[in-house]
C-alpha cells in the first residue's frame, strides 16, 4: 500500500511506527513543516520525509490526515487539485465532520474518518471508523489497515465524538489508573520499577480475560472476591470514594468539552 501521513505529530508518528513495524506499506510519505522531530524515520526503506504535502499526495493512494483541526481546511485546500480517483482520504482529525470535508474535496471522493489512539504505535489501537457514501466502497481498505494495527469498529459518524473520548483520550485515562496502581504498589513495598511492572501486566491480564472469554467484568470480579476477603473490602472502599462515579463524570466532562468545540476553533 502506498500511504501518506499528512501531519506527522504525536498521532501521525504513532501510526507511522505501527505501519513500519507491521510491514504494512509499499511506500510511506511522512509530511510535516518541520521535519526535525521525525528524523529517526530517515533511514527506513521506502519511507520518505517531506514538507511537500502535494508530493506525498501525488505519490500515494491512501492519505491519512493527522493535523490539528485548525489546520485541516488549509491542508485540504492545498492538496485538492492533486486528488484523483485512486485516492482514499482517511481523516483522524477530531470534530472535523464529513460534510465539511466533502465541501472541500467533493462528495465523490472516498472519505473515511478514523479515530485511533496512540497504542497504534505498538499495534494495539482501538480504532473507530465511519465514512461518506462514496467511502463505503473503500472502508474495507481502511479496516484492513487498522485491523493490522489493533482492533476496529465501524460506527455512525454521530458517535465519533464519544469514540474520541472513550478510545483516544482513553489512553490517558488508563495511564492514570495504571500510575495510581503503581503508586499504591510502591506504598505497599515494591520499588518503582517492580511496581509499574505489576501494574502494567495486571491491567493487560484483566483486559485479555475479557477479550478472550467475552465475559462481563463482574463475572471476573466474582472469581476474585473471596467472601469477607481483602478484594471486596478494597473494591467497596474504592467505590465509597467514588471510583466508578469519578471515571464516568470525567469522561462525560471530556465529551461535553469536545461536543462544544465551536466551528471557529476547527
Ligand X SMILES: O=C(O)[C@@H]1CCC=N1
**Which residues lie near ligand NDP (CB under 6 A)?**
6-7, 9-12, 31-34, 53, 66-69, 71, 75, 92-94, 115-118, 168
Q: Dihedral angle at the C-alpha atoms of 183, 185, 191, 196, nearest 10 degrees?
A: -70
Exposure letters 69-89 (e unless 16+ CB within 10 A, then b)? eebbbebbeebeeebeeebbb
Q: Please report whether residue 92 would count as binding ligand X according to CB under 6 A.
A: no
Which residue is it, cell 462514496? 134
**Count of residues touching ligand X (by CB under 6 A):** 4
Applying CB under 6 A, which part among 33-41, 81-89, 161-169, 183-191 lies near ligand X? 161-169
Q: Please report whether residue 163 would count as binding ligand X according to CB under 6 A.
A: no
Q: Does the annotation list 227 as a binding residue?
A: no
Q: What does the alpha-carbon distance between residue 47 and residue 198 come to, in Å, rounded to a whole number? A: 37
Applying CB under 6 A, which part among 38-46, 54-62, 143-151, 164-172 lies near ligand X? 164-172
Q: Does an H or E element contain 218, and which?
A: helix 217-224
Cell of 200: 502494567
* DSSP structure class, residue 97: -
Q: CB under 5 to 8 A by kind: which of ligand X, ligand NDP, none does 182 bind?
A: none
Q: Does the annotation list 68 as a binding residue?
A: yes
Q: Does the annotation list 80 as a binding residue?
A: no
Enumerate the known binding-site residues for NADPH.
53
Binding residues: 6-11, 53, 66-69
Interface with ligand X (CB under 6 A): 94, 164, 168-169
Amino acid at each position: 500500500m502506498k500511504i501518506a501521513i499528512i501531519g506527522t505529530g504525536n498521532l501521525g508518528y504513532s501510526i507511522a511506527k505501527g505501519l513500519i513495524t507491521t510491514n504494512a506499506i509499499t511506500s510511506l510519505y511522512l509530511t510535516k513543516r518541520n521535519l526535525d522531530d521525525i528524523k529517526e524515520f530517515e533511514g527506513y526503506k521506502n519511507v520518505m520525509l517531506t514538507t511537500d504535502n502535494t508530493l506525498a499526495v501525488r505519490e500515494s493512494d491512501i492519505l491519512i490526515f493527522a493535523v490539528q483541526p485548525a489546520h485541516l481546511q488549509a491542508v485540504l485546500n492545498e492538496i485538492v487539485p492533486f486528488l484523483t480517483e485512486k485516492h482514499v482520504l482517511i481523516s483522524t482529525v477530531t470534530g472535523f465532520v464529513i460534510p465539511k470535508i466533502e465541501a472541500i474535496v467533493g462528495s465523490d471522493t472516498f472519505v473515511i474518518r478514523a479515530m485511533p489512539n496512540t497504542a497504534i504505535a505498538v499495534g494495539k489501537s482501538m480504532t473507530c471508523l465511519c465514512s461518506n457514501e462514496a467511502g463505503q466502497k473503500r472502508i474495507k481498505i481502511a479496516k484492513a489497515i487498522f485491523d493490522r494495527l489493533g482492533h476496529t469498529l465501524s460506527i455512525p459518524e454521530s458517535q465519533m465524538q464519544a469514540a474520541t473520548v472513550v478510545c483516544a483520550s482513553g489512553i490517558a485515562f488508563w495511564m492514570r489508573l495504571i500510575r495510581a496502581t503503581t503508586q499504591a504498589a510502591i506504598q505497599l513495598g515494591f520499588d518503582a520499577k517492580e511496581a509499574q511492572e505489576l501494574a502494567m501486566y495486571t491491567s493487560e491480564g484483566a483486559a485479555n480475560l475479557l477479550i478472550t472469554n467475552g465475559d462481563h467484568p463482574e463475572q471476573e470480579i466474582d472469581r476474585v472476591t473471596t467472601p469477607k476477603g481483602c478484594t471486596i473490602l478494597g473494591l467497596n472502599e474504592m467505590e465509597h470514594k467514588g471510583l466508578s462515579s469519578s471515571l464516568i463524570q470525567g469522561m462525560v466532562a471530556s465529551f461535553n468539552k469536545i461536543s462544544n468545540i465551536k466551528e471557529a476553533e476547527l
